[in-house]
Amino acid sequence: MAASISGIGIGLGLSCSSNLSKSLHSSQSSGFRVKMTVSVEDKKKNYTLQKSEEAFNAAKNLMPGGVNSPVRAFKSVGGQPIVIDSVKGSHMWDIDGNEYIDYVGSWGPAIIGHADDEVLAALAETMKKGTSFGAPCLLENVLAEMVISAVPSIEMVRFVNSGTEACMGVLRLARAFTGREKIIKFEGCYHGHADPFLVKAGSGVATLGLPDSPGVPRAATFETLTAPYNDILAVKNLFNSNKGELAAVILEPVVGNSGFIPPKPDFLEALQRLTKENGTLLIFDEVMTGFRLSYGGAQEYFGITPDLTTLGKIIGGGLPVGAYGGRREIMEMVAPAGPMYQAGTLSGNPLAMTAGIQTLKRLKEPGTYEYLDKITGQLVQGILDAGKKTGHAICGGYINGMFGFFFTEGPVYNFDDAKKSDTAKFARFYRGMLEEGVYLAPSQFEAGFTSLAHTQEDIQMTIAAAEKVLSKI
């Protein structure tokens, strides 16, 4: 049985089985292609991960679990984690010499492609002046102006070094501004690993099967209330039972850390109305969606302006970065303008600012998001068609450069729906796709990402690989 969600705006596709609730748009794709031809002989060579296995076994004696971020350990998909040697455009190579079409994109930042020549050239020039000043630099002004002009909610911005740090700062700011402590977050939404957010957090926590994390004191999460994503009635009930106590509602406007889950029609608008009526701040965590769904992020795409926004990933062009911003009256509470303290040694460092500036310049070029819409739509439709053809329950969707699919009939509206997916099947699919030269996120509960460097050849090779693997599992 096929089901679909529609009416969420032009450019959104979400479907189950083979129906995709939008037509594919034509786009100007010239100027966005990075030719990465892969010969048939190369693809047919024996697939081995011997060097990756040796390196990973050594890493396990040096770092917890052998990695510096849990999802990289392949716990939810099994098999040998791959150790990457290099990346370029839409492709990556591991230390065994295997080549992959990449749909992780460093978890989102590589929207113009890996190791872009213009970004690398700009970084080389900046490095001649130094890598970190620990003092103001003009590049901070340039990127700040670009972010403020692009993102509807942001009148002032503070740069930090990660999405986690951005969410930590914005939460403290919301509490300082409102004089309240309680917040609402949504089940399956991930806002970094700070203590107050590790409650039904999705992403790596879900991948490891942990409800939250040991070491988080009850007091740190006592003021964190949760509701199912897309359930406005549950949110209303929380407001009614906590009148005058809620500092903020924070959410991923499109969930990426439970897999790809878009909002139902009017969900974001209803949240905006509720927060305004109750003197509560609405926070969009756009670490994933910022500059990916549109140049102005999800808030521009859906036409809903929050009070505060967090950003990361893309605005650093592949270097460590994060940011939070919003209305001037709120942001002027941040030190040294105001009493809410937050600081960082490497915040606004010249390298991250340079990479971000060059990336945003490219994204502003005509046809950018039309191209992302076209190739991502073709990719998702092709995978869903392959799933139906080979007899699998599968559903999925996309918005421009962000996508996902689940091994369940669907539809998927929230984390509980996502957990109905056949994760064992996804694991088999994942390992099969690796052998076919396609690198996806190693978890059913993560979104995928396309880039301007992905070509029609990449998309068609991926669809062919998916059909081949799906026919075997």
Active site residues: 190, 285, 313
CA geometry: angle at 191 spanning 251 and 179, to 5°? 70
77 class by beta-carbon count within 10 Å (0-12 exposed, 13-18 middle, 19+ buried): buried
Other beta carbons within 10 angstroms of residue 80's beta carbon come to: 16
Other beta carbons within 10 angstroms of residue 43's beta carbon come to: 14
Strand partners, 185: 226
CA geometry: angle at 304 spanning 301 and 305, to 5°? 110
Phi, psi of 469 (to 5 degrees): -70, -45
Q: How far apart are CA 462 and CA 199, in angstroms?
A: 35
Residue given tokens 């969900």 in the structure block: 267
Structure tokens at 454: 């992905």
Are 108 and 314 in contact, with CB atoms under 8 Å apart?
Answer: yes
Of the CA atoms within 13 Å of residue 409, those in its CB half-sphere come to: 3
Structure tokens at 52: 């990756």
Residue 336 CB partners (closer than 8 Å, separation 6+): none
Q: Minimal CA–CA distance to 151: which of 283, 290, 285?
A: 290
Structure tokens at 70: 């849990």
Structure tokens at 470: 């799906």
Q: Minimal CA–CA distance to 191: which of 209, 177, 176, 204?
A: 204
Q: How far apart are CA 162 and CA 160, in angstroms?
A: 6
